[in-house]
Amino acid sequence: MSELLNEFLFLFQRLSWASLIDLFLVTAIFFSILIAVRDTQAMVLMRGVILLVIFLSLLTSLVNLPAFSWLIKTILPALLLAIPVIFAPELRRAMERLGRAGFTNIFTHKEKASKQLIQQTIRAVVTAAARLSARQHGALIIMQRVDSLDEYVHTGVKMDAGVTPELLLQIFYPNTPLHDGAVIISDNHLTAAACVMPLSSSGILNRSPERQMGLRHRAALGISEASDAIALVVSEETGSISIAHSGRMIRRLDSERLENILLAFYSPEQAGTPSHFLNRFLNMIKTKGKLED
């Protein structure tokens, strides 16, 4: 025991400010990597790679296998080069989040919309969501923020119309030509309908109690992972309202909570910084215990 304490004291005596900064940077890098691959298929792949490396290390160190050791040392550089290819989606998502850091949170790309116009748009979306929920009509509404959604607009039917509850109800009425796909709202206008969204590759929905959630919820999570947009989903099975942002989903919302969350994102006067909006959003989720991890 005394020898162990002496070793710890020896380590602490060798610590300096440079060593602490060095350890902090290494810890931050590994923490960022784990956050980036959390709830994705890459997490399972990374776990398998780590177990394989541990197994091979133990096998080559405990047993004298010259030919096998040579083979492992030969193919190891190739495996290291394959890592960026294997984890390409997660690396891209991490770079996109890094590129978005520090941007001003605005509702339009060209110029800031007036507070009255923002509230009018949000009120129309909330009213439509409440009516769709009561009728159990499925819907997927994507609200653009800073990141452009032009590539997804081109997959649907361009509308360029004002945002009204009646128009949204008509679009998502069952068996109408535009009810499949997503509606994109940008610059306080309904830009396009029947748009195709990327599906999420995370395992959040698979671990949720309601595993029957379908393509709308996966598409909502997918677009929230690929951009900073807000995705609003109305379930066709239960009528429940959900909202997704930054790869996370809060579910079973009522009209009041939905409006408060949207105002927190799209009203700069109420908070001030993008990080504040995100923290407020996550706090709302944790407070109600609705976060699906």
Q: How many structural domains compose the chain?
A: 2
Whether residue 183 sits in one domain with residue 89: no
- Strand, coil or helix: 241: strand
Q: Give the least confident one: 186-195, 263-272, 283-292.
A: 283-292
Write out the residue range of the structural domain in which residue 34 sits.
2-100
| Last residue in a domain, options 47, 67, 100 | 100
At 8, the pLDDT band (50, 70, 90 cuts) reads: low
Sequence-distant (6+) residues with CB within 8 A of 179 are 137, 138, 171, 172, 173, 194
Sequence-distant (6+) residues with CB within 8 A of 206 are none
Whether residue 133 sits in one domain with residue 34: no
Whether residue 279 sits in one domain with residue 179: yes
Whether residue 128 sits in one domain with residue 63: no
| Last residue in a domain, options 52, 77, 100 | 100
Whether residue 204 sits in one domain with residue 95: no
Q: Give the least confident one: 49-63, 82-96, 171-185, 273-287.
A: 273-287
Whether residue 59 sits in one domain with residue 89: yes
Average pLDDT over the chain, rounded to an integer: 77
Whether residue 164 sits in one domain with residue 248: yes
Whether residue 257 sits in one domain with residue 163: yes
**34-44 tens-digit pLDDT:** 776 665 556 66
- Strand, coil or helix: 215: helix
| CATH for 267 | 3.40.1700.10
Sequence-distant (6+) residues with CB within 8 A of 61 are none
Residue 109 within a domain: no
**Would you state the pLDDT for residue 287?**
43
Whether residue 85 sits in one domain with residue 25: yes
**Residue 271 DSSP symbol:** S
Residue with the bigger pLDDT between 99 and 192: it is: 192
Find the mean pLDDT for residues 156-167: 93
